[in-house]
Structure 1
Amino acid sequence: MSTTVNTHESLSIVSTAAAPAAIGPYSQGIKAGDLLFCSGCIPLDPASMQVVEGGVEAQTEQALKNLKAVVEGAGAELGKVVKTTVFLKSMDDFVAVNGVYAKFFGNHKPARSAVEVARLPKDVLVEVEAIVSLK
């Protein structure tokens, strides 16, 4: 069965070249009313679309840079991030990821969940998604 579904006029797709292009049938972000829902950001270099070199710290930093690019591409800022979800390949990396995350967000402390998952796209070590206020 073939069905065509179009994005409802109440929603706006967010797309920025400053973050990696979507590698599947999804958008980098969707604005819905006063909220922005950011897709999970993995540590791809936006120019090469390759996973960044280095361990979990380097991957976390790149994933967060990609998230920031989507947030700013939607006209918001990191201080308006309401909630993040951090997906980890290994909970053993929690402390290292937490260190990079804390520096990245500074004094802002969004609500957050962190979970270990069996596998992530392109076998990366970390992925971060967010919900952001547009007010």
Structure 2
Amino acid sequence: MSSKPRIFIDGEHGTTGLQIRQRLAGRTDIEVLSIPEAERRNPDFRNRLLNEADIAILCLPDDASREAVAMLAAAGNETTRIIDTSTAHRTADGWVFGFAELTRGQREAIARARHVSNPGCY
């Protein structure tokens, strides 16, 4: 990771994406990657940002979240950490459920995980 982690909010203009973007606004310890308005429907631009990010936060419908994960896999990307706010991966194998109080050691599992599924209505 570079000195400033690069965060890409895929779906940043939807309800959840806007809320996350607002929470990250003004932070100087991260770099938020964003798709310019003219490129929002360009899958190549989206793919590029997904693969450039240190952390991708997926604020998408289930099918689009699955597609984003597939884009990373197709590129052979094994470094971008993914936080998925959809239900697509909530109980999927290889994903850690992002509810720190769920079990002993869950917080540590989340910190180590490359794939974290959001617990839902947060």
Check whether TM > 0.5. no
Greater C-alpha radius of gyration: 1
The structure whose RCO (Cα within 8 Å, separation 6+) is larger is 1
